[in-house]
Every structure is written in structure tokens, then in C-alpha cells.
Amino acid sequence: MKSTKARILDVAESAARRGGYHSFSFRDIADEIGIKSASIHYHFPTKGDLARALAERYRKEFFKALPAPRSVDRKTSLNELVNALRASSQQDGMMCLCGMMAAEVDALPPEAAKEARAFFKQGIDWLEQVLSDAEPNADKRLAKALAILAGLEGALITRRGLGVPSGFDIAAREIVETLTGEIITLR
């Protein structure tokens, strides 16, 4: 049995990934779970608290599911990253939570905006380490890391913009394979 707190986070994350922070209300979440909106305030006093917790949980789970940067070979690491973001796209064409929050960052409560930024910092850091052997030049390594992360987040957007499920796969594979020379296996 999942705790109420976890169920709130699950439902809110799903809503935020579909329409952003401003697209859902405490009542929306409460109704879907079958509780009252006042109960959500017990777990998360303000909506900003909820959004911050959403982004923090998402970031931690996301990177926990990825291999530590130098623990496996480059190809495996890149595969895991692509497939992690692809999972967002698969079930219902959802955005990456932090990609969504970065897009709307100017209209987020500051504490939530900060957590969203932490996801990108950690993502770039992870990628730079993954690319460290293949790309000894620091500037070029940063450029590739930025390009890969941008390409994957953008692939989620184009998939939604075109409404075609394969949109993510084609774009993501093209970007990562061209930039790294590694062959990606989607699963």
C-alpha cells in the first residue's frame, strides 16, 4: 500500500507533466485520489512545497535509475539515458517533469524553480563524465553534453507537437548516434 503522500506526488507529477504547474489544482489531485483538498495541505502546506517535492523526487529517482557515470561503458550509459527519457514519452506522451518545469521556470515558485535547475545541472554533469574518455577537450565535452540533453528534451516536445509516438524515437536516436557515434538500442 502506497502512502497518501506518495499517491499525491504520483498524481500531481502526472498532471504537471501533461500541462505544467499551473494546469492542475489541489482539488484536481484530491478528487483523483479520493480525498479532500485540505488533506493535501497537511502533507504539502503550499503548492510551491508540492512542486518542489515533485521536482526533487523526480530528479533523485531519475539519476538513481541511471548507472554511475564511469561504472559501465559509454554506450550503455547513453542507452540508459535515452531509454529513461523515452519512458516519459511512451506511456502517454508525457514530458519530462523537469523539462516542463524548465520551460515554465519564470512562472514557478522560486523553490520549485531551483529544484528544476538542479536536474539540468546534474544531467550535464552526468553526461560530461560519461563523455570524458571519448572527448578530452573540455569545451567540446560540454557542448556535446548540452546538445544531447537538449536534443532529448526537445525530442519529447516534438513528439507532442507532432502527435506521433515515433517522433521521439527517431529524433533521439538521430541526435545521440550522430553526436556520439554510439548505436542506441530502444526498449
Partner DNA sequence: GTCTATAATTTGATAGAC
Partner DNA sequence: GTCTATCAAATTATAGAC
Where on the chain is the footprint of DNA (CB under 7 A)? 4, 24-28, 30, 34-39, 41-43, 45-48
CB of 174 to its own copies, least distance (A): 4
The item of its own copies, DNA, none sharing an interface with residue 171, based on CB under 5 to 8 Å by kind, is its own copies
CB of 9 to DNA, least distance (A): 12
Return the number of the residue (3 or 137) whose C-beta is nearest its own copies.
Answer: 137
**CB neighbour list of residue 60: distance below 8 Å, 6 or more residues apart:** none
Between CA 103 and CA 40 the distance in angstroms is: 26
Q: Which residues bind its own copies (CB under 8 A)?
A: 18-20, 22-23, 93, 95, 98-100, 102-108, 116-117, 119-121, 124, 142-144, 146-147, 149-158, 160-163, 167, 170-175, 178-179
Instruction: Mark out the alpha helices in the chain (DSSP H runs).
Output: 4-19, 26-33, 37-43, 47-64, 74-92, 97-103, 110-130, 138-162, 166-180
